[in-house]
Amino acid sequence: MLSKETIGVIKSTVPILAERGTEITSHFYKRMFHHHPELLNIFNHANQQRGRQQTALANALLAAASHIDQLENILPAVKQIAHKHRSLGVKKEHYPIVGENLLAAIKEVLGDAATEEVISAWKEAYQVIADVFINVEQEMYDEAEKMEGGWRFFKPFIVAEKVKESDVITSFYLKPKDGAPVPYFMPGQYITVKITIDGEKYVLNRQYSLSDAPGKDYFRISVKREAEPNQPSGKVSNYLHDHIQVGDELELSAPAGDFVLDVHQLTPVVLIGGGVGVTPLMSMLHSIAKENPARPVTFIHAAKNEAVRAFDKEVKDVVTLLPNGTSFICYDQPIQNGNGDHKGKITKDVLEKFIQPAADYYICGPVPFMKAIVSYLEELKVADEKIHYEFFGPSMLMKQAPLFA
Ligand code: FAD
């Protein structure tokens, strides 16, 4: 338990964290990786380069400071981060390293403003926050290991099949090398692929959503080749596309994540995907077809054109079997006019047709896409608790109010 005085000091740092949080976390990561380069085997370097991890941590610190007297308020957000940590293999012994470097970074960035009183309050508070994470993550590791076919950190899988889904997206069907059953997962969850690439100094970890229903003897992931002009090519996605073949081995963590569909509900569901963000929604769609085919479901997918969009036939085949299922395909720049149900971006007017009372909305896609969809849903008076979304990267603020990232 933190004393009243400590809580007061932590709360007094909220304004400066709001103003200089990213400066502190940027310095923190540089410092920590300088002293502990081995942690680069866990963290995603591209997210560091693009500053997304630094922003996510700054938001997290700000939220923790704001809620320091009622940390239970931020437990859902703690769990979201803990899922990611568990999928990456973050361990209890990493927390003191983070703590030491974070306190040093606060001191080094804020200088005289970080008085001894502030540093000692943050030292105490960090321990409390770290203990919350350590305990939640411990439970998650135990749960992952206890499941039928489960395991704790990483285990080898064999690529059983590789299927091209579009010009840029390829699926990999993965089976446990040890022949154990594939554990059940919740539709919407992801695994981490841990990969060693010749010439890369560190091991690379990337999350991929499971794109088929649970209950099969394989996991399916569907990976977009990241190759934008004038930008470095994505390391892992290109390696998977170009070098990983049927029969090769990949190290996987057990399924994780809280962007999940409750398959036991009967309420309507609207799935809204942008580009490769459709992968967790594919798992949700297949799960509805398997568990509850009468459940009302609308599947909306926006893509640039027919060539890059994956799963066209698969979606049609599934939706045909659902008496209350609808699909709605949007092509921003269709190759052939008339293809798809809508030409152009999804607008508020387009979305309005699919608003249903009591429906839950599951959204995944590029950040600007999700921001637009979430703001339209809000304008259309959909309640916050009905809107669920997943970032294919560190969590970001969807709106200005300080969420816990
Ligand atoms: P990276 O090497 O990580 O690069 C990523 C991007 O950063 C590239 O566009 C690159 O150009 C840019 N970049 C790299 N270095 C720099 C630099 N120095 N400066 C500026 N920009 C730089 N992806 C899927 O395809 N399918 C999925 O189902 C999927 N599910 C996901 C689920 C979750 C929960 C999360 C968090 C992510 C998911 N992703 C998914 C994304 C995936 O984890 C990877 O981020 C993606 O494959 C890119 O990895 P990469 O190694 O190829 O690219």
The answer, yes or no, to whether any atom of ligand 1 lies below 6 A from the CB of 96, is no
Whose C-alpha lies nearest to ligand 1, atom 15?
46
Q: In whole angstroms, what is the distance from residue 280 CA to residue 332 CA? A: 21
Q: Which atom of ligand 1 is nearest to the CA of 239?
A: 52
Q: How confident is the model at residue 403 (pLDDT cuts 50, 70, 90)?
A: very low
Contacts of 313 (CB under 8 A, 6+ apart): none
Residues 6+ apart with CB under 8 A from 129: 64, 71
> In angstroms, what is the span from residue 237 Cα to ligand 1's centroid?
7
Confidence class of residue 399 from pLDDT cuts 50, 70 and 90? low
3-state secondary structure 67-87: CCCCHHHHHHHHHHHHHHHHH
Confidence of residue 405 (pLDDT cuts 50, 70, 90): very low
- The finding on whether 398 has its CB within 6 A of some atom of ligand 1 is no
Model confidence band, residue 2 (pLDDT cutoffs 50, 70, 90)? very high
- Assess whether the C-beta atom of 296 lies below 6 angstroms from ligand 1: no
Other Cβ atoms less than 10 A from the Cβ of 156: the count is: 12
Q: Atom 37, ligand 1: which residue's CA is nearest?
A: 392
Contact 187, 213 (CB under 8 A): yes
Q: Is 253 in the pocket of ligand 1 (CB under 6 A)?
A: no
Separation between Cα atoms, residue 70 and residue 77, nearest integer Å: 13
Compute the chain's Rg from CA coordinates.
Answer: 22
Distance 300 CA to ligand 1 centre (A): 23
Mutate to test the pocket of ligand 1, among 196, 231, 252 (most ligand atoms within 8 A of CB): 231
Q: Report whether 404 contacts 59 (CB < 8 A).
A: yes
Q: What is the pLDDT of residue 307?
A: 98
CA dist 282 and 390 (Å) reads: 14
Q: Is 279 in the pocket of ligand 1 (CB under 6 A)?
A: yes
Any ligand 1 atom below 6 A from CB of 209: yes
Kindly state the DSSP code that residue 210 receives in the 8-state scheme.
B
The pLDDT value recorded for residue 51 is 86
Gap between the Cα atoms of 380 and 208, Å rounded: 31
Considering only CA atoms, which residue is closest to atom 5 of ligand 1?
234
Q: What pLDDT, on a 0 to 100 scale, did the predictor assign at position 397? A: 67
CA 233 to ligand 1: nearest atom: 11
Beta carbons of 372 and 346 less than 8 angstroms apart: yes
Spatial separation of the C-alpha atoms in residues 47 and 64, rounded to whole Å? 22
Q: Using an 8 Å Cβ cutoff, are 132 and 78 in contact?
A: yes
pLDDT digits (tens, 9 = 90+) for 192-209: 999 999 999 999 999 999
Residue 402 clears pLDDT 60, i.e. is over it: no
Q: Which of 52-66, 288-302, 385-399 has the lowest mean pLDDT?
A: 385-399
Percent with pLDDT over 70 in the chain: 98
* Burial per residue of 253-273, b for 16 or more beta-carbon CB atoms within 10 angstroms, e otherwise: bbbbbbbbbebeeeebbbbbb
- What is the 236 CA–ligand 1 centroid distance (Å)? 8
Residue 400 pLDDT > 80, yes or no?
no
Which tokens hold the place of 94? 């990493």
Share of the chain above pLDDT 90, in %: 91
Indicate whether residue 393 lines ligand 1 (CB < 6 A): yes
Mean pLDDT (the chain, rounded): 95
Length of the chain measured in residues: 405
C-alpha angle 125-128-134 in degrees, rounded to nearest 5: 135
Minimal-distance CA residue to ligand 1 atom 14: 46
**Mean predicted confidence (pLDDT) in 167-191:** 98
Distances (CA, A) of 307 to 229, 265, 271, 345: 18, 35, 21, 17
List CB contacts of 357: < 8 A, sequence separation 6 or more: none
> What does DSSP assign to residue 200?
-
Instruction: Out of 43, 53, 226, give the residue to mutate to test ligand 1, the one with the largest number of ligand atoms within 8 Å of its CB.
Output: 226
- Assign 329 a pLDDT band (cuts: 50, 70, 90): very high
Report the sign of the C-alpha dihedral through residues 245, 302, 228, 284, in that order.
negative
Identify which of 201, 209, 219, 388 to mutate to test ligand 1's pocket (most ligand atoms within 8 A of the CB).
209
Q: For ligand 1, is residue 200 a contact (CB within 6 Å)?
A: no
Q: Whose CA is nearest to atom 1 of ligand 1?
A: 234
| pLDDT above 60 (res 228) | yes
Roughly what angle, to the nearest 10 degrees, separates helices 116-146 and 52-66? 110
Q: How confident is the model at residue 29 (pLDDT cuts 50, 70, 90)?
A: very high
User: Does ligand 1 lie within 6 Å of residue 226's CB atom?
Assistant: yes
What's this model's pTM, rounded to 2 decimal places?
0.95
Q: Are 219 and 210 in contact (CB under 8 A)?
A: yes
Quote the DSSP letter at residue 23.
H
Q: Which pLDDT band, with edges at 50, 70 and 90, does 404 fall under?
A: very low
pLDDT value at 398 more than 90: no
Rounded to the nearest angstrom, the distance between the alpha carbon of 120 and the centre of ligand 1 is 38
d(CA 283, CA 291): 12
To 10 degrees, the CA torsion angle through 149, 145, 260, 301?
A: -50
Nearest residue (CA) to ligand 1, atom 33:
392
Ligand 1 neighbourhood includes 241 CB (under 6 angstroms): no
pLDDT in tens, 122-139: 999 999 999 999 999 999
Ligand 1 in reach of 13 Cβ (< 6 A):
no
pLDDT in tens, 34-64: 999 999 999 888 888 888 889 999 999 999 9
Atom 3 of ligand 1, residue of closest alpha carbon: 46
Residues recognised as catalytic: 95, 137
Torsion of CA 212, 173, 48, 29, to 10 degrees: 100
Distance CA(34)–CA(126), nearest Å, equals 21
Give the distance, in angstroms, between the CA of residue 72 and the centroid of all CA atoms in the same chain: 22
Q: Is 282 in the pocket of ligand 1 (CB under 6 A)?
A: no
pLDDT of res. 58: 92
